[in-house]
Amino acid sequence: MSAARQLVMLMIVGLCAWPSLAQDAAAPVSPPTSQTFGADTVYFNVLNTGFLTPEVARSYGITRGKDKFLVNVSVRHASDGTSEPIRATVSGSSSDLIHRTPLNFREVIEQDAIYYIAELSIDGKQETRDFRLRVNTATRPQPYDIQFNKTLHIEN
């Protein structure tokens, strides 16, 4: 399997399967990984770059590390019972309790996928981060504003 295909599969699994990993009803609720705005759905996820193989990370210029994370955003437009990826302009920021840091997204276009990735690092073993995303598409004049919190852990 090509490195590009591996990254797409990892992103899809991360976006789609993460909510289903809850162990029991008492487990904390996972943060949302998508928001729907009319016919558009914005998918977003944050994952540790250690989950990427060295080959995939190298092919996309991603720095792997226990303290390094990847923010992934994609947009799909529903029409006539189907859904297709659409291009967007994505900007955003992440903050801990003290500092807000801009996220620099870059576009990745592959066979049947368009997504936007940004890298970030954390200082502690565990940090809860606030993410704010602004997604602009040609399908709507106003941007989609998304805010979510995610606790990031440095893997041992």
Provide the residue-wise pLDDT of the chain in tens; the chain has 156 residues: 555 554 444 454 444 333 433 333 444 556 679 999 999 999 999 999 998 999 999 999 999 999 999 999 999 999 998 999 999 999 999 998 888 999 999 999 988 899 999 999 988 787 889 999 999 999 888 999 999 999 888 866
152: tokens are 């990031």
Cα angle value 118/83/19 (rounded, 5°)? 60
Dist. CA 148–CA 138, nearest whole Å: 24
DSSP H or E segment with residue 90: strand 89-95
Strand partners of residue 94: 101, 131
Backbone angles phi, psi at 49, to 5 degrees: -70, -15
